[in-house]
Amino acid sequence: IYCYFCQFQMISVTIVVASGQMVKMDSDRSGYVGSQVELRCEFVNSNPPVKISQVTWQKFVNGTKQNVAIANPALGVSVLAPFKERVRFKNPAVRQRTPSLEDTTIIFNNLRLSDEAAYICEYTTFPAGNRESMVNLTVYARPMVQMSLSTPTIVAGSKDLKMTVATCISANGKPPSVITWDTELNGEANTEEIRNTDGTITVRSDYIVVPSRETHQQRLTCISTYNDEQYTDSVSLNIQYEPEVIIEGFDGNWYINRDNVQLTCLADANPAISLFQWRYLNGSMPNSVELRDDTLIFKGPVTYEIAGTYVCDATNSIGTGSASVEVTVSGKSAWHEQQRAGAAIGGAVVCGTVLLAAITLLAVFFHRQRRTFKGDYSTKKQVLGNGFGKAGSLPPCPSFPQSLNYTEDSNDEKKPEVYGGESVQEFHGYPDNRMKAYSTVEDSQRCRYDEQSYLYDYGSEVEISVDMVPQMDGSVISKEEWYV
């Protein structure tokens, strides 16, 4: 039928004859099943006009013509079965047998899929003969969209077992729908089209995933697009799986005489847990333990005998899951141990701080002491007696050589020291080859003794001037050099 439509589409909308008569019609019309549609047909007469004897509407199917409705000025209007209850002429004048038949538009009510065809409007005139034109009527069918779970119960299996979890159907549509899925699930769609005997098409799309605990309660939305219209339907997956169990309550700080401790068995399962069971792997359950479904309550203060391994078994209709916990009991609270450790660390920090302060103070003290002498200790004057003299009778100045050798870059006072009445030359460790001649006149002039002198234990005498400061090692330093 549809191919016939194609060939008739090549025919002109109107037929113009040499005498000027023509039939005006639309080339294409469409409507949905159950709706109403108009098929226009108008006759353009000539001048002088020709006489219209009859107008006949025909359905063109598989190369044959089937009468639908007839309008005759003398006999009136006739609509044939199976169109009798659904087709009528739009112009009331035609229904009242008036001579005017220039507008013979018909109205289709309650369209059916079987109404889809090419329709011919034919005018019989005298003396010009027959004139006709054609319109293609397309009937659409909106689909019925339905989405459902593949089975009422979906059980999570192995990680590699894929199965259809939901099905979306767009049934009896014309033209066929396009189905897409909106979901966060990582799956795939399998879509097929099924052609029905009445010309409609049913589209079926299955969504395939690996059922698991993670896919439970995930939402699937089916989107059916039909002639730029969208229909949506959604379902939530109901995946059943065996329990996944954990035990809460043991914080690693159960110590002697602690109160109010317990273990709780938590299980994630679908369907819900029907039975909780507790086991103690170290023998019989301690007498201080009370079982309350998913909870173990330890009555009284904590003792060493409750230590051990506890197991919780949770069961639903799919299977059983288990979890265990190793309970240890210590003599002291972990909190107290942390406090002791903190106190020890704090004490070490305090001691370190005090020690650092003491070291700092000593460093400052010695630094200040060192600053009180602004000279060099290598310039200290030391005069020792021969051990046989008395106070006030120091030996005369020793004789010095006429010249001494000193280094050019020496900053020390160039003075010899006298030990036991003998002249000893001190050159501060410089090699002999770096020495030069130096006059000793100044040194001979400096050899003056005051009346003050001191007698040391070893019997030597040292004469101290009033402007000299005695040192513990027997030397003397001038006040000008010693005081700041």
Q: List, for residues 136-147, the tens digit of each pLDDT value.
A: 999 999 999 999
Asked, for residue 445, whether it belongs to a domain, the answer is yes
The predicted model gives 421-441 an average pLDDT of: 40
Residues 41 and 97 occupy one common structural domain:
yes
Query: Distance between CA atoms of 74 and 57, rounded to whole angstroms?
Result: 17
Report CA torsion sign: 443, 447, 453, 457.
positive
Please list the residues that pair with 477 across neighbouring strands.
Answer: 469
Last residue of a domain, one of 237, 271, 305: 237
Residues 193 and 305 occupy one common structural domain:
no
3-class secondary structure for 429-458? CCCHHHCCCCECHHHHHHCCCCCCEEECCC
Asked, for residue 96, whether it belongs to a domain, the answer is yes
Least confident piece of the model among 143-152, 329-338, 358-367: 329-338
Q: Which residue has the tokens 């059980």?
A: 155
Least confident piece of the model among 135-144, 185-194, 319-328, 385-394: 385-394
- The amino acid that residue 354 corresponds to is V
Distance, CA of 312 to chain centre: 34
Is the distance from CB of 236 to CB of 218 less than 8 angstroms?
yes
pLDDT score at 369: 58
Choose between 92 and 207: higher pLDDT: 207
Q: Considering the chain, what is the average pLDDT of its residues?
A: 77
Residues 126 and 173 occupy one common structural domain:
no
The pLDDT tens digits for 377-418 are 444 444 444 443 344 444 444 444 444 444 444 444 444 443
Quote the number of domains for the chain. 4
Last residue of a domain, one of 140, 161, 181: 140
Query: pLDDT band at residue 101, thresholds of 50, 70 and 90?
Result: confident
Residues 160 and 228 occupy one common structural domain:
yes
Query: Distance between CA atoms of 187 and 28, rounded to whole angstroms?
Result: 43
pLDDT score at 321: 96
Choose between 349 and 281: higher pLDDT: 281
Asked, for residue 312, whether it belongs to a domain, the answer is yes
Residues 69 and 184 occupy one common structural domain:
no
Residues 19 and 109 occupy one common structural domain:
yes
Least confident piece of the model among 145-159, 266-280, 331-345: 331-345
| 3 has pLDDT over 60 | no
Residues 173 and 225 occupy one common structural domain:
yes
The predicted model gives 226-250 an average pLDDT of: 94
- Closest Cα partner for 217 from 190, 233, 240, 245? 240
Asked, for residue 333, whether it belongs to a domain, the answer is no
pLDDT score at 94: 82
Cis peptide before 99 (omega within 30 of 0): no
| 467 has pLDDT over 90 | no
pLDDT score at 129: 87
pLDDT score at 285: 94
pLDDT score at 367: 62
Other Cβ atoms within 10 Å of 439 Cβ, number: 11
Least confident piece of the model among 128-132, 419-423, 475-479: 419-423
| 169 has pLDDT over 90 | yes
The predicted model gives 160-170 an average pLDDT of: 92
Q: Which residue has the tokens 């003969």?
A: 129
pLDDT score at 337: 53
Residues 479 and 402 occupy one common structural domain:
yes
Choose between 191 and 8: higher pLDDT: 191
- Closest Cα partner for 136 from 157, 152, 123, 119? 119
Please list the residues that pair with 244 across neighbouring strands.
Answer: 268
Is the distance from CB of 189 to CB of 166 less than 8 angstroms?
no
Residues 209 and 247 occupy one common structural domain:
no
Choose between 384 and 311: higher pLDDT: 311
Tell me the range of 257-261, 350-354, 416-420, 473-477 where mean pLDDT is highest: 257-261
Residues 124 and 151 occupy one common structural domain:
no
Least confident piece of the model among 35-44, 152-161, 224-233, 304-313: 152-161
Full residue range of the structural domain in which residue 10 is found: 2-140
Asked, for residue 364, whether it belongs to a domain, the answer is no
Residues 230 and 301 occupy one common structural domain:
no
Last residue of a domain, one of 188, 218, 237: 237
- Closest Cα partner for 426 from 376, 379, 373? 379
The predicted model gives 145-166 an average pLDDT of: 86
pLDDT score at 254: 96
Least confident piece of the model among 79-88, 125-134, 314-323, 416-425: 416-425
Query: pLDDT band at residue 157, thresholds of 50, 70 and 90?
Result: confident
pLDDT score at 466: 54
Residues 157 and 220 occupy one common structural domain:
yes
pLDDT score at 465: 52
Is the pTM above the cut of 0.75? no
